[in-house]
Structure 1
Amino acid sequence: MRKHRFEPAVLVMGLVLLTLMVCFILDVCRVWDLRPGRSVPLVVGGLLVAVATAILTQVVRAVRGRRTRPRT
């Protein structure tokens, strides 16, 4: 198996989608009432967290890349 970069935004988005899946399953089983007023903020908030994680990851990689690159 080839090595690949760790992508924290993908991990966060996966966790957000799993959380949404559990919420929707609980709604179908009538354990929890998930109205659109509750589900839309969950989706939008999860997407914003994933985007913020992706941006932060790119900033950290850019800063680290500048530090490790030899100066000429």
Structure 2
Amino acid sequence: MKRHGFRPAALVMGLVLLALAAAFLLDASGAWDLAPRLSLPLAAGGLTIAGVAAAVSGRRRG
């Protein structure tokens, strides 16, 4: 299998999506009430942080 380089943006986005999935599971189980006004900014913030990580790593490599 061919090795690939470290991609911090993919790591950040994966962690944000795991956090959102955990929040949705807690909401579905009734342990936590997830309001839509909380989930949308969390997803948008995660995309922003992943974009910044991609820009920083791209500038650092190039």
Relative contact order (alpha carbons < 8 A, sep ≥ 6): 1 or 2 greater? 2
- Give the structure 2 partner of residue 33 of structure 1: 33
Letter of the structure 2 residue corresponding to residue 30 of structure 1: G
- Deviation of 1:23 after TM superposition, in Å, equals 0.4
- Deviation of 1:54 after TM superposition, in Å, equals 0.4
Q: TM-score, normalised by structure 1?
A: 0.82
- Give the structure 2 partner of residue 66 of structure 1: none
Give percent identity, aligned residues only: 48
Q: Which residues of structure 1 form unaligned runs of 5+?
A: 63-72
- Deviation of 1:59 after TM superposition, in Å, equals 0.8
- Give the structure 1 partner of residue 50 of structure 2: 50
- Give the structure 1 partner of residue 5 of structure 2: 5
Letter of the structure 1 residue corresponding to residue 12 of structure 2: V
Letter of the structure 1 residue corresponding to residue 60 of structure 2: V
RMSD, aligned CA? 0.7
Q: TM-score, normalised by structure 2?
A: 0.94
Q: Tell which structure's C-alpha radius of gyration is larger.
A: 1
**Moved beyond 2 Å, runs of 4+:** none
Q: Which residues of structure 2 form unaligned runs of 5+?
A: none
